[in-house]
Amino acid sequence: MYQHLLVPIDGSQLSERATDASLELARKVGARVTGFVVEPDQPLPGIGSHPFSHARDANEYLARTEAHARQVLGQFAAKAAAQGVPFQGRYERTDGVDDAILEAATEFGCDLIVMVTHGRGTFGELLFGSHTKTLMARTRLPLLVLH
């Protein structure tokens, strides 16, 4: 069965489903999990419900997104530890979100990607929904998509 799951998350309530489902599956099959937070390299000023879209400048945006990623990955790591699931976390900033997810899956030797249909809010649905569709078309790995 699966040995290493890649779980792209953004800290939204919906991404909690991917966190919980991946840990349950990993525990059942003896797999390890890599939590992956990837944020756009540049903010989209004032658009949508992204928690940092209203940052004053690029430095504030970068600091906030990094702190948020650490928090999200820390919570994921704590859940994994409580369930006895080996876990590692990774944070990356890039405008090539789809490529980053695929590259991380290859780099870490993952054999399943677990993700939700979309991320934060209405704009997140547009943004992350498109990522899910792109990954469905591009990956050769099994993709478990949750809604």
Check pLDDT > 90 for residue 65. no
Helix (H, G, I), strand (E, B) or coil at 37: strand
Average pLDDT over residues 81-98: 95
Domain 22-103+119-146 -> CATH class: alpha beta
Give the DSSP per-residue string, 69-135. Answer: HHHHHHHHHHHHHHHT--EEEEEEE-S-HHHHHHHHHHHTT-SEEEEES--SHHHHHHHHHHHHHHH
Burial 28-55 (b: 16+ CB within 10 A, else e): eeebbbbbbbbbbeebeeeebebebeeb
What are the pLDDT digits (tens) for 13-38? 889 999 999 999 999 999 999 999 99
Placement of tokens 């080996």 in the chain: 86
What are the pLDDT digits (tens) for 1-14? 899 999 999 888 88
Query: Domain map of the chain by residue range?
Result: 22-103+119-146
How confident is the prediction for the chain on average, in pLDDT? 86
Per-residue pLDDT at 117: 82
Average pLDDT over residues 109-135: 71
Average pLDDT over residues 46-73: 75
End-to-end CA distance of the chain: 23
| Alpha-carbon distance values, 36 to 9, 11, 61 (Å) | 6, 11, 19
Average pLDDT over residues 55-59: 74
Q: Regarding predicted confidence, which is higher, 70 or 130? A: 70
Average pLDDT over residues 121-141: 69
Per-residue pLDDT at 42: 67
